Amino acid sequence: MERRGQPAVQVPSLDGVTRERFLRDVYPRISFSAIVSLSLPPQREPVVLKGMELGPCTTKWTVDYLSQAAGSKEVKIHVSAVPQMDFLSKNFVYRTLPFDVFVRRAAEIKHKDYFLSEDEKYYLRSVGEDVRKDIADIRKQFPVLAEDVQIPEYFEKEQFFSSVFRISSAGLQLWTHYDVGNNMVSIKCCGWHCGVMDNFLIQVTGRKRVVLYSPRDVPYLYLSGTKSEVLDVDNPDFEKYPLFVKAKRYECYLEAGDVLFIPALWFHNVISEEFGVALNVFWKHLPAECYDKSDTYGNKDPTAASRAIQILDRALKTLEELPEEYRDFYARRMVLRIQEKAYRNDYG
């Protein structure tokens, strides 16, 4: 497909990566020469990990097995009459179904029983039993299924935050976003988002296409909160979103058994090309004091960032006291000062 803008950069893939190699070659800061010589991604960029030992889930998790293992437990799901879910316009509805009924419907292309239309799309992302207090953790919400999964232990146990179980219909696309640990305010299926914690997207069954954008491209993504207003990343409306052409597109395809490392703050847009089951594992990579201790959902900015945003809001409010010409002048000076003091010099 021909696209305007920068050509897509393929997310690098690595085979058989051990914990030691991940921490040595992928996760820490390494020199550019090491990246080139070892064909490794720079630190804090996505990478697809292949050949990981994930347990029997990749072969066991058929529709029949999932239906039997999790039974008739009721789950809250997203239902959309169109493939492209949009969290901003909320073109979907929430419904509740027994898990076994939901799985069979999600695996269908046409439905005899449906809520909106015979070709509606379904999406599940697990939440805690009490969404106000409990994190998403497959070991608690789906304990039988959790026994089939071997989560790569590439972080310390005390860093673990959540494990979000996901099932999506073929063709479903979620809005572009960045992730939060419990995904209470952003969803992934196909669409975009980004998050404040590092995470592994474990593709257990099915196939996904993932398009990612670096945090440095925030000025071109037309954000509303954690989500981008640009829904169709393949055929964007450049008249409405002219700066989007400058955003550098990273892309990969995940097959069953692949694990995508998504660094914190990276935006991603995901299309489920087949009915599929996935698991997101989030962990806190910053020191514990950087996170809000009252944050049950994992959807709050780091405490220092929250304070800085509050101060900026107060500064902008103060600028409103000036005439327009002066307000514009001092706002531009503030932007230049932020660029000088806070922007990284090694971002191209």
- Model confidence over 117-137: pLDDT tens digits? 999 999 999 988 887 788 899
Q: For 48-91, how does the pLDDT look when each residue is reduced to its tens digit (9 = 90+)?
A: 999 999 999 999 999 999 999 999 999 999 999 999 888 777 89
Neighbouring C-beta atoms of residue 233, cutoff 10 Å: 25
pLDDT recorded at residue 332: 96
Section 228-252 average pLDDT: 93
What is the Cα gyration radius of the chain?
Answer: 21
Sign of the four-CA dihedral 196, 157, 145, 49: positive
Sign of the four-CA dihedral 111, 116, 121, 125: negative
Section 274-282 average pLDDT: 96
User: C-alpha distances in angstroms, 133 versus 123, 129, 137, 345?
Assistant: 23, 8, 12, 40
Fold of 9-290: Jelly Rolls (2.60.120)
Residues 6 or more apart whose CB falls under 8 angstroms from that of 340 comprise: none
Q: Which residue has the higher pLDDT, 178 or 244?
A: 244
pLDDT recorded at residue 347: 58
Q: 125 with 241: CB under 8 angstroms?
A: no
- Amino acid identity of residue 197, one-letter, is M
CA angle centred on 151, ends 145 and 153, rounded to 5°: 155
Query: What is 45-92 written as a DSSP string?
Result: S-EEEES----THHHH--HHHHHHHHTT-EEEEEEESSSB--TTTT--
At what angle are helices 99-107 and 63-70 packed, to 10 degrees? 170
* pLDDT band at residue 289 under the 50/70/90 scheme: confident
Exposure pattern of 275-300 as b/e (b: 16+ CB <10 Å)? bbbbbbbbbbbeeeeebeeebbbbbb
Q: 39 with 26: CB under 8 angstroms?
A: no
Task: Give the phi and the psi of residue 50 in degrees, each rounded to 5.
Answer: -110, 160
Where on the phi/psi map is residue 19: left (φ > 0), alpha (ψ -120 to 50), or beta?
Answer: alpha
pTM: 0.87
* pLDDT at position 248 over 50: yes
* pLDDT band at residue 105 under the 50/70/90 scheme: very high
- Domain regions of the chain by residue span: 9-290, 303-342
Q: 59 with 24: CB under 8 angstroms?
A: no
Burial of 31 (0-12, 13-18, 19+ CB in 10 A): exposed
First to last CA, the chain: 27
Among 120-124, 194-198, 234-238, the range scoring the smallest mean pLDDT is: 194-198
pLDDT recorded at residue 85: 86
Neighbouring C-beta atoms of residue 245, cutoff 10 Å: 13
Q: Which two tokens stand for residue 180?
A: 């939060």
